[in-house]
Amino acid sequence: MNPAEIEKRSFEIIAEGLSGRRFDALNLPVIQRVIHTTADFDYADNLTFSPGAVAAAMDALRRGAHIVTDTRMAEAGINKKALAQLGLSVHCFIDAPEVADAAKAQGVTRARASVDRAAKTLEGPLIFAAGNAPTTLIRLHELVASGTLSPALIIGVPVGFVNVVESKELILGLSVPHIVARGRKGGSNVAAAVCNALLYTATERVL
């Protein structure tokens, strides 16, 4: 089987696994793409969408949104052809020298400092995709709650044990559009998968 055939058959299996369940038509491609990436049907229940989150993401992508990731792995996993088709770019500041300096000076994580860097340097709609660092979400919550920042979308899917669940719950309490994987599951691959699902919807990519 060639790659296209494998992907097609994989999505057929996923559709069979979700048979009998009802999902919002805009949310379903995101759920399917994450399950395809992880082979984990728990995401059918774990992924939580704020009302209109995908529609808000579509609007932001079509208005030239910047996608900001918290890891190079997530950045690498986002489909560059889809980004190019929409004229978009993806950013990761985690290893930028100025971010490392700011984190050290403030005694905070580089992920937290990366959020500040993105907020200060990027103009236009911002989509934050966090798959690793809970401190990314904690800082986003602080900035949104204070009225300092209003992201077009927050993708909150960090994986792990320390502050992971709590940081996701903070985002779930915000009024800004968000897609969150409740619980401990997630990861950079999941963050990239959510971004790709949104990009594929925006570009009308067909499997």
Q: How far apart are CA 27 and CA 84, in angstroms?
A: 23
Q: How far apart are CA 187 and CA 156, in angstroms?
A: 10
Residue in 36, 66, 141, 178 annotated catalytic = 36
Q: 3-class secondary structure for the chain?
A: CCHHHHHHHHHHHHHHHCCCCCCCCCCHHHHHHHHHHHCCCCHHHHEEECCCHHHHHHHHHHCCCEEEECCHHHHHHCCHHHHHHHCCEEECCCCCHHHHHHHHHHCCCHHHHHHHHHHHHCCCCEEEEECCCHHHHHHHHHHHHCCCCCCCEEEECCCCCCCHHHHHHHHHCCCCCEEEECCCCCCHHHHHHHHHHHHHHHHCCCC
β-sheet with 66-69: strand ranges across: 47-49, 178-181, 153-156, 126-130, 66-69, 89-91
Q: Is 178 a catalytic residue?
A: no
Tokens of 19: 């048979």
> Hey, which residues are catalytic here?
36
